[in-house]
Amino acid sequence: MILLNLLPHREAARKKKREQFIASVVLAALVGVGISLLAFSWYQATIYNQRAINALLDTEIRTLDQQIKDIKGLEAQIAALQARQRTVEDVQADRNQSVHLLSELAQQLPPGVLLTKVAQTEQLVQISGTAQSNEQVSDLLRNLASGSTWFSKPELLESAAATMALPTKEQRALFNFSLRAVLMRAPDVAAAPQAGASGTAPVTSQLP
pLDDT of residue 196: 42
Q: Is 28 helix (H, G, I), strand (E, B) or coil?
A: helix
Q: Which amino acid is at 169?
A: K
pLDDT at residue 106 tops 70: yes
Domain carrying residue 133: 97-191
First to last CA, the chain: 163
User: Are 175 and 134 part of one and the same domain?
Assistant: yes
Is position 200 within any domain? Answer: no
User: Are 63 and 109 part of one and the same domain?
Assistant: no
Q: Is 206 helix (H, G, I), strand (E, B) or coil?
A: coil
The length of the chain in residues reads: 208
Domain count for the chain, please give it.
2
Nearest to 189 by CA among 97, 117, 109, 119: 97
User: Are 64 and 26 part of one and the same domain?
Assistant: yes
What pLDDT digit, counting tens, does each position of 143-186 carry? 888 878 888 889 988 888 877 766 666 777 888 999 999 888 77
User: Are 166 and 138 part of one and the same domain?
Assistant: yes
| 1 against 138, higher pLDDT | 138
CATH number of 119's domain: 3.30.1360.100
Is position 7 within any domain? Answer: no
User: Are 150 and 116 part of one and the same domain?
Assistant: yes
pLDDT of residue 198: 39
Specify which residues 155 forms β-bridges with.
Answer: 180, 204
The rounded distance, in Å, linking the Cα atoms of 65 and 84 is 28
Q: Is 112 helix (H, G, I), strand (E, B) or coil?
A: coil
pTM for the full predicted model:
0.48
